[in-house]
Amino acid sequence: MLLIDRATHDAIVEHARRDHPDEACGVVAGPVGSDRPARHVPMLNAAMSPTFYEFDSVDLLKLYRDMDDNDEEPVVIYHSHTATEAYPSRTDISLAQEPGAHYVLVSTRDGADVSGPVDFRSFRIVDGDVSEEEVRVVERYDDDAPQTPTTQSEKRAN
């Protein structure tokens, strides 16, 4: 299950909408071993394509150095699909190189780039095997606050 705070969830959706019609991409870093998304890092899609994303190699190297310096790791790796559902393509699966990461896909098809529902889905991709996982959006990370899962319709409304 991916547990993600509302502000980070909304920032990912906004990034996907802003970059439409090109695919958006980015990373959410978190403390090593925590599985907690903490620092949203929107990246440039170097491919500038509506059907493919590619992290800029210089920006990606800088990000990994920053994460290393801050004892962080990529907790979420995300990108958008502009004309298809939020499900990993064969290319997405072949490029997935972080077995511990949550791979989030956001679909901005059918007018979702402007407003209305978006598909926001998370997957684990390990050795080419894809498994979808529940996404739970919380207002904040607070161990004593009730953690109410976001329903599928609420996920699409954002």
Give per-residue pLDDT as tens, 116-139: 889 999 999 999 999 999 999 999
Q: Which tokens belong to 65?
A: 């150095």
Domain ranges across the chain: 2-157
Superfamily grouping for domain 2-157: Cytidine Deaminase, domain 2 (3.40.140.10)
- Give residue 112's pLDDT: 92
| DSSP H helical ranges for the chain | 6-19, 57-69, 90-95, 152-157
The rounded mean pLDDT for the chain is 91
Give per-residue pLDDT as tens, 53-80: 999 999 999 999 999 999 999 999 999 9
Q: How far is CA 101 from CA 21, 74, 148, in A?
A: 26, 6, 23
Band (pLDDT 50/70/90 cuts) for residue 143 is: low
